[in-house]
Amino acid sequence: MERATLDFWVGLFVVAGLAALLGLALKVGNMSSFATTQSYEVKADFNNIGGLKIRAPVKSAGVVVGRVSDIHFDNKTFEAIVTLKLDSRYRFPKDTSAAIMTSGLLGEQYLALDAGGDDKNLAGGDTIKITQSAVVLESLISQFLYNKASDSPKADSAPAAASTSGVPSHE
Amino acid sequence: MSTENLIEIRDVSFAYRDRPVLKGINLTAPRGKVIAIMGGSGCGKTTLLRLIGGQLRPTQGEVRVDGQVIHQLGVDALYQMRRKMGMLFQFGALFTDMTVFDNVAFQMREHTNLSEAMIHDLVLMKLQAVGLRGAQGLMPHELSGGMARRVALARAVALDPMLIMYDEPFTGLDPISLGVIGNLIRRLTDALGLTSILVTHDVHESLEIVDYVYFISNGVVEAEGTPAEIRASKLPFVHQFVYAEEDGPVPFHYPAPDYAADLGLGSDR
Amino acid sequence: MKPPKQNLISRIGHSVIDSIWIMGVATRFLMQVLWRSGTSWRRFGLIIREIYASGVLSLVIIIVSGLFVGMVLGLQGYQTLQTYGSEQALGVLVALSLVRELGPVVAALLFASRAGSAITAEIGLMKTTEQLKAMEMMAVDPIARVIAPRFWGGVISMPLLAAIFSIVGVFGGYLVGVVLIGVDEGSFWSQMQAAVDVREDVLNGVIKSVVFGFTITAIALFEGFDAMPTAEGISRATTRTVVTSSLAILALDFILTAFMFRGV
């Protein structure tokens, strides 16, 4: 008889504890890092990744479509190779471009994908050809001053496309 | 296997580290008898019980219980042997988080597959034997010292052991409870046909109920005999102990230099 | 205990050797507890009882403390964040600090002083009143019957308590931030969800609290089992349990954090 009330309280405690864990999992956190089965990886090379971190979001049209899963430096090309883990619900054309952006003026950096017009879609293991490096504030300013001095009209060379962008190397 | 003596202790010595406690003890306990081991405080009586229960190993000699050398048994055989032993600790050692009923039922639940109904009946029988059937629902802290001792006694006989050891069963009891416990020990021994070993320094109560007495002092058996022989003994140590005299072979004074010299009298002034 | 005429070096030497000795004894004790845990898993009722004693009975203090810690976080976090105009990040701040650090650590500290000390006192009392020896004489192994169930009860209770602490704390932060101060409810929750990862943050917090539960219960049981069988011995052992396990929690927390949240 005493056992029964004790069992009840322990049961209640365990249920409350598990509910709290479930609450932490569903209400407080996100399960993104568990979605390993339904994703595919593509690579992208950048001259400069700025402050991009592993697990930074990958967005397209402002929607989170995946995460950065790995960043490393290539000894041959001297470029940063970023691996993106994209949700397999989302498909992108082969000529999609990737750019490193900043949310707000001082916010965290993310990778933005801009869909192209190709018929074929990116598949796992593909590399995104068209990339745009992070904007380095110092280079931006110096370039602006240089342009001002030479007084030439081509002021908007900063968002130049392709790996061979107008932004000088960070070194 | 059915030897005459349930317990045979042959030439047993024991030392804690390098402090000798027992020095060549010989002792036998025949089946169906109540044996008392007496002696002053700290003479190694409790150590002797620990040796019999297999909680300690002798440094020399052997302790046989039911024909088996206790300190040569493996863990399982030792536990098997302990199921046939009961022990009553100094203050009962009841499990404080269980009721009286659960305390007595403890061993039955741990060691047997008896049904709850059967355990219920057995526990009430044991409690009835010590006169505490009415206290089955109480917690140990609600019992008086004497009652706790009786419950512990009921718990010790729960599995009908062949041997019960009592460690100072009379300590801190009022005269009435003392008589009750003493009589219970005798009655249970006779009724259940078991063997009892009583470690005590309460001479008068135990001389009433026991069959044979061993006196231990300084780690050796100083004297032994039936209660009548002990009472008549002319040995100074036994005489002092039985009649509770202040001074004798066991001195009142701790060894000290001469009293007068210690006070600084009679020297130069 | 030791002769008073001893120089500093030999005293330090003694205490170092002593503590190494105790470490060895404690490890052997823990191994025995793990080795003989079979009985308590086969008779799960024993563990249920101990979950009640250490888990359910700690629930009130855990919930109340969690609520207040969350509310203070909400208040203080808001003060700081609003200077940078980012008070929407309040949810992130509250949730991350609770799930990663405060939940496991504060819950463990409370658990050590509430349940750990109770375990030590209980075992110490059982030792002092010869209950453990009595059990041994009844051919019942006290480590299997008394120690192991308490150990597993504590190990199971601790992560559940930490999770309850965190969720109540988040609720406390929500109460202060959203209901009282008026931070936007939508961004409070959505930013929190975007920033808190189940595996990186929640799961690591759970792992931490399991480690803490293991440590606290092991220390509490050992101190009780090793206590001098006197009233003074029990009170000293109880104090040692709280002090030692609190220090162990904080030190382990640093080590675990260094391993888990490196470079992310």
| CATH code, domain carrying B97 | 3.40.50.300
Query: Over pLDDT 90: what percentage of chain B?
Result: 0
Residue A15, by phi and psi: left (phi above 0), alpha (psi -120 to 50) or beta?
Answer: alpha
Rounded CA separation A142/C205 (Å): 46
**Does residue A34 carry a pLDDT above 70?**
no
B42 located within any domain: yes
- Cα dihedral across residues A46, A49, A55, A60: positive or negative: negative
Distance CA B154, CA B136 (A): 11
Q: Looking at residue A161, what is its pLDDT?
A: 44
In a domain, B62, yes or no: no
Asked whether the beta carbons of A168 and A135 are under 8 A apart, the reply is no
Tens digit of each residue's pLDDT (9 = 90 or more) over A114-139? 888 888 888 888 888 888 888 777 77
Range of A42-46, A146-150, B145-149, C171-175 with top mean pLDDT: C171-175
Shared domain for A24 and A96, answered yes or no, is no
A78 assigned to some structural domain:
yes
Token digits of residue B204: 């008068």
Q: Which domain holds residue A23?
A: 1-30
Closest CA to B7 of B59, B87, B68: B68
Residue C31 belongs to a domain = no
- C160 CB neighbours in chain A (<8 A) are 13-14, 16-18, 20-21
Is residue C11 a part of any domain in this protein?
A: no
Distance CA C91, CA A44 (A): 33
Query: Which of residues 115 through 134 in chain A touch C, CB cutoff 8 A?
Result: none
Q: Is residue B75 part of a domain?
A: no
**Residue B40 resides in a domain:** yes
HSE (side-chain half, CA atoms, 13 Å) at B128? 6
Let me know if residue A153 belongs to a domain: no
Q: Which residues of A touch C205 (CB under 8 A)?
A: 24
Does the residue A159 lie in any domain?
Answer: no
Question: How large is the C-alpha radius of gyration of chain C?
Answer: 22
End-to-end CA distance of chain C: 52
The helix (run of H) or strand (run of E) holding residue C190 is helix C185-195
Q: Convert the pLDDT of each residue in B137-178 to its tens digit.
A: 888 888 888 888 888 888 888 888 888 888 888 877 788 888
The ipTM, to two decimals, is: 0.76
Interface with chain B: mutation pick from C32, C138, C146, highest number of B CBs within 10 Å:
C138
A4 occurs within a structural domain: yes
- Please report whether residue C16 resides in a domain: no
Residue A163 has pLDDT above 50, yes or no: no
**Is the same domain home to A4 and A77?**
no
Q: Residue A64 above 70 pLDDT?
A: yes
User: Residue A46: inside a domain, yes or no?
Assistant: yes
What are residue B169's phi and psi, to 5 degrees?
-70, -15
Chains that touch B (3 or more CB pairs under 8 A): C
Would you say residue B190 has pLDDT above 80?
yes
Residues B125-147 have a mean pLDDT of 85
DSSP C77-117: HHHHHHHTT-GGGHHHHHHHIIIIIIHHHHHHHHHIIIIIH
Residue of A5, A7, A8, A10 to mutate, interface with C, max C Cβ within 10 Å: A10
* Range list of β-strands (E), chain B: 5-16, 19-30, 34-38, 60-65, 68-69, 85-88, 163-167, 195-200, 212-217, 220-225
- How many angstroms separate the CA atoms of C232 and B78, rounded? 34
Which residues in A lie closer than 8 A to residue C264 (C-beta atoms)? 53-55
Q: What is the CA radius of gyration of chain A?
A: 23
The closest CB to that of C134, out of B80, B93, B110, belongs to B93
| Residue B34 CA: distances (Å) to CA of B40, B90, B211 | 20, 18, 5
pLDDT over threshold 80, residue B247: no
The rounded distance, in Å, linking the Cα atoms of B199 and B30 is 16
Shared-domain flag, residues A71 and A102: yes
- Residue C22 covered by a domain: no
With CA atoms as reference, the chain C residue closest to B165 would be C137
B217: in domain: yes
Residue B261 in any domain: the answer is no
Q: Give the count of domains, chain B.
A: 1
A43/B85 Cα distance (integer angstroms)? 76
At residue C32, the 3 state secondary structure works out as helix
Range of the domain at C234: 36-260
Residue B199 lies in a domain: yes
Any idea what DSSP says for residue B132?
Answer: -
List % helix, strand, coil for chain A (3-state, nearest 5).
25, 30, 45
Q: Bigger pLDDT: C73 or B71?
A: C73
Strands B195-200, B163-167: pairing kind: parallel
Q: Do both A16 and A94 map to the same domain?
A: no
Q: What is the pLDDT of residue A32?
A: 58
When pLDDT is averaged across residues B210-235 and rounded to a whole number, the result is 82
A29 touches chain C (CB under 8 A): yes
Burial classification of residue B179, based on how many CB atoms lie within 10 Å of its CB (0-12 exposed, 13-18 middle, 19 or more buried)? middle
How many distinct structural domains can be found in chain C? Answer: 1
Do the domain assignments include residue B188? Answer: yes
Q: What is the CATH number of the domain that holds A105?
A: 2.40.30
C21 lies in a domain? no
Mean pLDDT, to the nearest integer, of B47-52?
84
pLDDT at C162: 95
pLDDT given for residue B269 in this prediction: 47
Chains that touch C (3 or more CB pairs under 8 A): A, B
Phi and psi of C235, rounded to 5°?
-65, -35
Q: Are strands A57-60 and A63-73 parallel, antiparallel or unpaired?
A: antiparallel
Q: Residue B231 sits in which domain range?
A: 30-55+84-248
Residue B111 confidence (pLDDT): 84
For C110, the token pair is 């409370």
Cβ–Cβ of B89/C133 closer than 8 Å? Answer: yes
Number of helices and strands (H, E) in chain B? Answer: 10, 10
More confident position, B257 or C201: C201
Residues of C in contact with A12 (CB under 8 A): 56
Q: Quick one: CA torsion of A20, A25, A26, A31, rounded to 10 degrees?
A: -170
The DSSP code for C151 is: H
Separation between Cα atoms, residue B115 and residue B104, nearest integer Å:
15
How many domains is chain A partitioned into structurally? 2
Q: Which residues of chain C register pLDDT less than 50?
A: 1-2, 264
Tell me if chain C has a CB within 8 Å of the CB of A103: no
Tell whether C167 lies on the interface with A, counting CB pairs under 8 A: yes
C133 part of a folded domain: yes
Rounded Cα–Cα distance for residues C126 and C120 (Å): 10
Assess whether A57 and A110 both reside in one domain. yes
User: Facing residues of B29 across strands?
Assistant: B7
Task: Identify the pLDDT of residue A88.
Answer: 83
Number of neighbours of residue B29 by Cβ within 10 angstroms: 23
Helical H segments across B99-156, by residue range: 100-111, 116-129, 145-156
pLDDT at C173: 93
Which chain B residues touch C136 with a CB distance below 8 Å?
Answer: 55, 82
Contacts of B224 (CB under 8 A, 6+ apart): B212, B213, B214, B215
Instruction: Count other Cβ atoms within 10 Å, centred on residue A118.
Output: 12
Whole-angstrom Cα distance, residue B37 to residue C16? 44
